[in-house]
Amino acid sequence: MDKIKGKITKFLKNRYTILTLVIIAMYMVYLIIAKVTPFGEKTILKSDAYQQYLNFFCYFREVLLNGKSLFMSWNLGLGNVFLTTFAYYLASPLNLLVVFFKPENMYWFVEIITLIKLILIGNFFMLFLSKSYQYKKWDAILFGLMYTFSCYVMSYGFHIMWLDSVYMLPIVLIFVDNYIKTKKICPYILVLAYTLFINYYIGFMVAFFSGIYYLAKYYIIEKEKFLSKESLIQFAKSLFKFLIGIAIAFGLIMFLFIPSFMQSSGNIIREPLKLFDFDIDKIRLFFNVIFNNYNYLFTQKSCLVFSGTLILLILPTYFMNPKIQKKEKVIFLLVTIFLLLPIVSPFLDKMWHGFARPNFFNYRYSFTLSLTLILMAFRGYQHKTEIKKKYMIISGIIFFILTAIEILIKKLGYLTSDGYEISYFSIILSCATFIIMWIVFFMQTVSKKRKQLFTILLVIVVCLDLVIGMRNSTISNDKYFSEEQVTKHDNAMEKLLQHVENKETDRIVFIPDNYGSNMSLKYGYSNIRIFYIF
């Protein structure tokens, strides 16, 4: 009995268990704020999640349980190659859980699978800190939480297939670090190939960023002998092997990628693109998402990088911390600048998106920028004993200078649209959050006897800060569909299809509203309409 109690106690004290429980609790808070079932009449579905993904899941369930074809479907557009739809939307093995949900309850599947992916995002990021940076303390959950509930995840999370790449990115980076240390490329190839398999589109961004990360970490580790002839030759060999590894990873998923590429090639940008296009409106819009006030129009047009006020507090101290090597600071600063360049470079923006024009939801790669900023803040936190009082004062000054600039922008009327404008209440709330976090973090760094207490308080403050972001993310033009809206056609379709002699061949046009183009996948009839957007 004592052994069982001991194992339970050990399990509950495990940092991965703690993070998982906190993520579940935070997700419940999010559902309550959004009034999503079981805490309201709404479902987790909004925008494309209802119009596209719900119906795809229903059809995939038929593939798994009733032998429908994964390669070709007659339920859409007079016949459609469904394999390309599978490759973009459904390839994640987690989607096999769809067999446990009936079509009329499929919104529950989306809600549950979203929670599972959030748990993986946080825990895999914390695993990354443990494996690559040897940080195994329980307070690493701070950074797991900020990566999990970042602006990108909360705003783009209804694109549920994108979340697979978000949780796989830290795992890919673990194997990049492993390759640099051991020179073994096979593990990296396999994990990257898996990432590309579950979603080749966002997976491409993971692959691209892993190359940037590889160059950064290789230089940081090998800088002292980097300029010698022998070291340059060694680097050339290592880089060539790494690039071959990426090519092999892509090769392993060509059976999915080639058909998908051929079908979506019409979206490829063929006209000349400017290398730089300095648009002050984009820069102003980007500046506003520094604060915890993102909304629908920010989501549609901005680079979503906000991951928590704690990042704004610690990040300046990273560059002042004497324990962190100067070369590391310079390299990661250059990485950050490169990741920001698409804001002023249409060419780089399209390159990140595989030279395909995004249909709304810009800067889809920005979760890599969020990870970079969180990682730099973590490195500062990792050496928090070296953070002097003057560093924190400078950090506070920088934050309030940014706040003053924000107020000046408002006063000058640069952002006059109600959709773009940040309210004074939001600015005050951000300042209050920053001050509270500043005090708690400062006490954590100087206190010896009550250090753990202030760490717990810091976790609580971070959670409250992320909850503010959750609330802001639910205030948008993309409203959540209610249970009634999602299921209102069930009975009507059942009665209608009783009079159809052959659902596989008879063509039916039944589009009761603007969201019904793919409804035939859910109800199993042969429709002439189809709607999907990459």
Detail the DSSP E strand segments found in 97-233: none
Element (H, E) at 480: strand 480-482
Cα gap 155→469, rounded to integer Å? 10
Pick from 44, 77, 16, 162: nearest CA to 530: 77
What is the full DSSP assignment across 486-497? Answer: HHTTHHHHHHHH
Structure confidence at residue 96 (pLDDT): 95
Alpha-carbon distance of 511 to 515, in angstroms, equals 8
Residue 135 CA from chain centroid, whole number: 23
State the pTM of this model: 0.91
CA dist 277 and 254 (Å) reads 35
d(CA 79, CA 403): 55
Domain ranges of the chain: 2-34
Which pLDDT does position 182 carry in this prediction? 92
Question: 52 Cβ partners below 8 Å, 6+ apart?
Answer: 89, 518, 531, 532, 533
pLDDT 10s digit of each residue in the chain, 534 long? 667 777 777 777 789 999 999 999 999 999 998 888 899 888 898 878 888 888 889 889 988 998 888 887 777 766 677 788 888 888 999 999 999 998 888 999 999 999 999 999 999 999 999 999 999 999 999 999 999 999 889 888 888 999 999 999 999 999 999 999 999 999 999 999 999 999 998 999 999 999 999 999 998 887 666 667 778 888 889 999 999 999 999 999 888 777 766 666 555 555 666 777 776 666 666 655 566 766 555 556 666 788 889 999 999 999 999 999 999 999 999 999 999 888 888 888 888 887 777 777 788 898 999 999 999 999 999 998 888 889 999 999 999 988 887 777 767 765 544 455 567 777 888 889 999 999 999 988 887 778 888 889 999 999 999 998 887 777 655 678 888 888 777 776 777 777 666 666 555 666 666 666 677 777 777 776 666 665
Distance between CA atoms of 15 and 21, rounded to whole angstroms?
Answer: 10
